[in-house]
A and B are shown apart, each in its own frame.
Chain A
Amino acid sequence: MSATRLESRVSAADRRKGAAPESGVAPATGASRRRQRVRAQLAAWAFLAPVVVYLLVFYAYPLLRNLDLSFRDYTLRSFIDGSAPWVWFENYVEVVRSSTFWPAVLNTAVFTFGSILVQFTLGLALAVFFFRRFPLATTLRALFLVPWLLPLLVSASVWAWMLNSESGVVNAAIEAVGGHQINWLTSPQWSLVSVLIANIWIGIPFNLVILYSGLQNISGDLYEAAALDGANAWQIFWRITFPLLRPVSAITLLLGLVYTLKVFDIIWIMTRGGPGDSSTTLAIWSYRLGFGGESPQLSPAAAVGNILIVVAFVFGIIYIRAQRRAERS
């Protein structure tokens, strides 16, 4: 349901209400009508109040605490006596100067763009395929959802075992066709690829479902007309499906981007960001600083987290604008 459509429906209802005589009620004066409006607003905000309070306490407050944390030097002692000296941007400087910073930024970029690009391509191909409506298509499409609904920890454990160097089924298959054993999770050049594979597997269903719903909104007449004009399947895809799917594609890609930036469970379970920093993303780094070791470094962890959130918000706002544009068209 688009906001604009909602709006027009609401205002249409208002006009109707205005045109029809208020049943059984004496014509309202200006003052009492204003009072009614105020009452209606109060009622509306009474319904919203719990969620607003909730958003303030459980979203805004943690974010502020996190921001505050990143400007202080918070140590184990701070838990005991509550003291944490204000250090301005020291944590940010420390984080940016760290030898992990650029690898983490690069890994985040490769992981995020690699994931969404492959997910989107495969998801689109599958959506077009399942749109051909053959027997069992609906059931099979539903089964494709499973990886996306599985607890991430389950998927990550399964992939970790499948990619195990000595006993994994993937290496067994590679060796069966004459290849050499690959140290998927334990070698620096493969660890990022490994977590990418697992994450792509999890993300395909999401892309498939959204793009499929986009296909459903393309008028069948266009396909018929193109078929009558003698267009082949390839031409139909590139001249009709792909251009008309552009708004939905933009939303899928941006949403995928925002979701992939957040990914933590998969990488942490499979490689813990290692070996070294070879599969460390910003999210992993932040967690490792704060909760991964013996001595928590909460303040630098918060600084890394806040860098991540800025990136997420930039793409998030682009997403919201793309969605508004799609709704308007």
Chain B
Amino acid sequence: MKRRAVDTVIGVILTAIMLFPLYWMINVSLTQPDRLRHDPPDLFPLNPTFAGYERVLSDQLPYLLTSLVVGLGTVVLTLVLAAPAAFALAKLRPRGRTALNFVLLIAQMIPSIIMAMGFYLIFYNWGILNTIPGMILADSTLAVPFGVLIFTAFMGGIPDELMSAAKIDGAGTWRTFRSIVLPVSRNSIVTVSLFAFLWAWSDFIFASTINRGGDWQPITIGIYRYIGNNTQDWNAIMATAVVASIPTAILLVVAQRYVAAGVTAGAVKD
């Protein structure tokens, strides 16, 4: 009993150390601008200001909106592409599935900078540089292979009896997929959607290459601009960072167990 209490104390201390940068982000976002350069820095926002957050509201709303649209678009595209493919891989035994699985694993390892350069030229030719559809297409490449692998792992666990029963009742393959496999796969749909959204929301490399000069740029570019333009104004930068972290917080509160499942399933498919 005593050992467990000591463990908890150690655990809390370790977590506090690990999360200190987050505390610091919030602390700085509330610090008065004229105290930012104070030495030593204020450890607590004793005299908090919300000026940074007001700046976010006045400057960053279009960026936040763009990120939201791009994130949701990426989720939809990822689900539409990944779920049917995973169903086929897990249950329909297509020839060549081993090769396809291999390609999906390899695809996740391609550094984004290389994809970004290819996209830059291709999107230039197609005329979709600096557009939201272009961003959605590029960002979806972060999530589609992962989505197929997660869905395949999950759908492989659906009992075949369930599918045979549907077949006997006269359901075709599409009907079986839509009415049986998809509803049963709800948890994996949540997992894939969460990751697809988060990755699209966090993307900086595609945004800064294929959307360098668009009217609608995501929040990562919003923060980057702040850093580039006014290095003095860290209180507004940190306030934007706090706001940009909200999806992460929601994700952890709402779907913590799916997150851990997703990380593990992506790496060690057991």
A132-149 vs B, CB cutoff 8 Å, 1 = contact: the mask equals 101111001011111111
Report whether B103 and A151 are in contact in the complex, using a CB–CB cutoff of 8 Å: no
Report whether B118 and A61 are in contact in the complex, using a CB–CB cutoff of 8 Å: yes
Report whether A144 and B15 are in contact in the complex, using a CB–CB cutoff of 8 Å: yes
B170 CB to closest chain A CB, in angstroms?
11
B135 CB to closest chain A CB, in angstroms?
13
Q: Which residues of A contact B245 (CB under 8 A)?
A: 150-151, 154
A221-252 CB contacts (< 8 Å) to partner B: 248, 251-252
Q: How many angstroms from the CA of A148 to the CA of B110 in the assembled complex? A: 20
A56-83 CB contacts (< 8 Å) to partner B: 58-59, 61-66, 69, 79
> A190 contacts the other chain (Cβ, under 8 Å)?
no
Q: How many angstroms from the CA of A210 to the CA of B140 in the assembled complex? A: 24
Report whether A158 and B212 are in contact in the complex, using a CB–CB cutoff of 8 Å: no
Partner of A136, one of B8, B18, B270: B8
Select from chain B the residue with minimum beta-carbon distance to A198. Answer: B21
Report whether A143 and B81 are in contact in the complex, using a CB–CB cutoff of 8 Å: no
> B189 contacts the other chain (Cβ, under 8 Å)?
no
B154-178 CB contacts (< 8 Å) to partner A: 154, 156-157, 160, 164, 168, 173, 177
Known contacts A59-B141, A143-B15, A51 near B92 by CB under 8 Å: no
Known contacts A41-B95, A130-B11, A149-B248, A65 near B268 by CB under 8 Å: no
> A195 contacts the other chain (Cβ, under 8 Å)?
no
Name the segment of A85-93, A96-104, A255-263 touching the other chain: A255-263
Select from chain B the residue with minimum beta-carbon distance to A306. Answer: B114
Report whether B118 and A65 are in contact in the complex, using a CB–CB cutoff of 8 Å: yes
A14 CB to closest chain B CB, in angstroms?
9
A151-195 CB contacts (< 8 Å) to partner B: 151-155, 157-162, 166-169, 172, 175-176
Report whether A150 and B85 are in contact in the complex, using a CB–CB cutoff of 8 Å: no
Select from chain A the residue with minimum beta-carbon distance to B121. Answer: A65
Report whether A126 and B14 are in contact in the complex, using a CB–CB cutoff of 8 Å: yes
> B87 contacts the other chain (Cβ, under 8 Å)?
yes
B8 CB to closest chain A CB, in angstroms?
5
Q: Which residues of A contact B103 (CB under 8 A)?
A: 55
Name the segment of A26-34, A113-121, A312-320 touching the other chain: A312-320
Partner of B248, one of A10, A126, A150, A327: A150
Select from chain A the residue with minimum beta-carbon distance to B269. Answer: A1
Known contacts A264-B113, A305-B113, A48 near B94 by CB under 8 Å: yes
Report whether A206 and B8 are in contact in the complex, using a CB–CB cutoff of 8 Å: no
B214-254 vs A, CB cutoff 8 Å, 1 = contact: the mask equals 00000010011001000000100110010011001001100
> B184 contacts the other chain (Cβ, under 8 Å)?
no
Partner of A153, one of B140, B164, B204, B248: B204
> A19 contacts the other chain (Cβ, under 8 Å)?
no
Q: Which residues of B contact A204 (CB under 8 A)?
A: 18
Report whether B19 and A265 are in contact in the complex, using a CB–CB cutoff of 8 Å: no
> B93 contacts the other chain (Cβ, under 8 Å)?
yes
Q: How many angstroms from the CA of A152 to the CA of B199 in the assembled complex? A: 10
Known contacts A43-B92, A151-B201, A166-B39, A206 near B263 by CB under 8 Å: yes
Known contacts A146-B19, A147-B18, A58 near B94 by CB under 8 Å: no
Report whether B25 and A158 are in contact in the complex, using a CB–CB cutoff of 8 Å: yes
> B89 contacts the other chain (Cβ, under 8 Å)?
yes
Report whether A313 and B106 are in contact in the complex, using a CB–CB cutoff of 8 Å: yes
9 A-B interface contacts by CB (under 8 A) = A40-B93, A65-B118, A151-B248, A157-B241, A206-B263, A269-B227, A287-B205, A309-B111, A320-B102
Other contacts beyond A140-B14, A149-B252: 20, CB < 8 A: A1-B270, A44-B88, A47-B84, A51-B82, A62-B118, A130-B11, A134-B3, A134-B7, A144-B18, A149-B251, A149-B259, A153-B244, A162-B21, A210-B267, A252-B267, A262-B113, A264-B205, A286-B113, A291-B209, A316-B109
Question: Which 6 pairs from chain A and chain B are nearest by CB?
Answer: A62-B118, A44-B92, A151-B202, A44-B94, A47-B88, A134-B7
